[in-house]
Amino acid sequence: MKKTFLTIILCLAGMITVSAQEALWSGTQVQSPVVNPDHTVTFSIHAPKASRVIVTGDFLPPTVVDTPFGKQETAGQAELKEGKNGVWTYTTDALAPELYNYSFVVNGMRILDPANVYISRDVASLTSIFIVSHADGDKGDLYRVNEVPHGNVSKVWYDSPTLKMKRRLTVYTPAGYERGKNYPVMYLLHGAGGDEDAWTTLGRTAQIMDNLIATGKAKPMIVVMPNGNVDCQAAPGEWSRGMYQPSFMASINHTTKPAATMDESFMDIVKYVEVNYKAAKGKKNRAVCGLSMGGGHTFAITKRYPQAFDYVGLFSAGLHISGGDRNASFYDLLQQNAEVQKQLATLFKGNPRLYWIAIGKTDFLYKQNADLRRYLDEKGYRYEYRESDGGHIWRNWRIYLTEFAQKLFK
């Protein structure tokens, strides 16, 4: 009996091994993408029955399309050429240092690169990714894992009495956290469609912070990345709602009004962090920043709690003020809302050490942010402004995080 059982186990093991080998070695062996010594990148895919293969990615000249939110840039595309054994290839021009994303389109069907295991999720879209670096310290180098002391990334649950639910946070603690004293905290907020995973997967937060801290360019700090969707507990598939289809606004319940807004509930997060982590307390030890919707949340949080944060970062902020004419400009809404004017006056009277606004030249939210700057200028409120090329894209937001983090707690 024992001998028969052992024989069955060995047969099953052999079948699994063969199956794994077939998955690994079936068809023509293809490496893709290959970053060449001259910084060009070659893409390849084995598709012998295809009639047309396209690569689409943010390393190609963008296409501008009309959306409900205005004109936006989408990934460009290029044709692959078929070679021997049904392998299609395309080689780019030399690429600048950066993290890039791409997909293949085979006979009209979009797919991931089957030869590349590195992917990221943005809302409900998966793309393959790769990094190009020319030298130590460039953007590509900053976004990759290097031989430096590493911090830790944890997924933790906290209680939000204001929202009446348990919710999940992503928390980065710097290398040596266990041995150190209390650390300042940066609260880093995602955009619409994102969740508490967005900044670590798409934003490369852990790699950026590890590399900046290791080279002395940023102070060791805790980075807290909440879920900004107030009717969700956590990222899709990570809470009791199950494996639902993520949507742009990441909302689950479109009929029931949430118990509170993100800004109303935000101090629940701060209280949890300062009780459960080695977090230095007080305004001078807190920063809050965010992209798009998260920039709007940052704007709302800091005017609601004007004495809570000394460092404020608006990255391509989606600015919003309740009430007023929906067709009015953001500048006019500011002029019409006495309560918001009072809140901003209190905020800037407290002399925050940094109020930082950053946006791309072709961002569809550019006008909103220009309206805010016009208002701040007229009031004589001090802020710093960073304008970059490009639009509403992660390539800009990683830059903004990198630059903002270096300005904190000094």
Q: In tens digits, what is the pLDDT along the chain, a chain of 410 residues?
A: 444 444 433 443 343 333 333 344 444 589 999 999 999 999 999 999 999 999 999 999 987 666 665 666 678 899 999 999 999 999 999 999 999 999 999 999 999 999 999 999 888 789 999 999 999 999 999 999 999 999 999 999 999 999 999 999 999 999 999 998 999 999 999 999 899 999 999 999 999 999 999 999 999 999 999 999 999 999 989 898 888 877 766 555 555 788 999 999 999 999 999 999 999 999 999 999 999 999 999 999 999 999 999 999 999 999 999 887 888 999 999 999 999 999 999 999 999 999 999 999 999 999 999 999 999 999 999 999 999 999 999 999 999 999 999 999 99
pLDDT of res. 150: 98
The Cα–Cα gap between 301 and 310 comes to 12
The Cα–Cα gap between 113 and 109 comes to 12
Torsion 275-226-359-98 (CA) sign: positive
Q: Which of 325, 352, 327 is nearest to 337 (CA)?
A: 325
Predicted TM-score (pTM) of the model is 0.89
Angle at 206 between CA 158 and CA 265, to 5 degrees: 30
pLDDT of res. 28: 54
pLDDT of res. 251: 57
Structure tokens at 174: 């710097």
pLDDT of res. 248: 67
Q: What is the dihedral of CA 320, 326, 328, 329, to 10 degrees?
A: 30
The Cα–Cα gap between 104 and 110 comes to 6
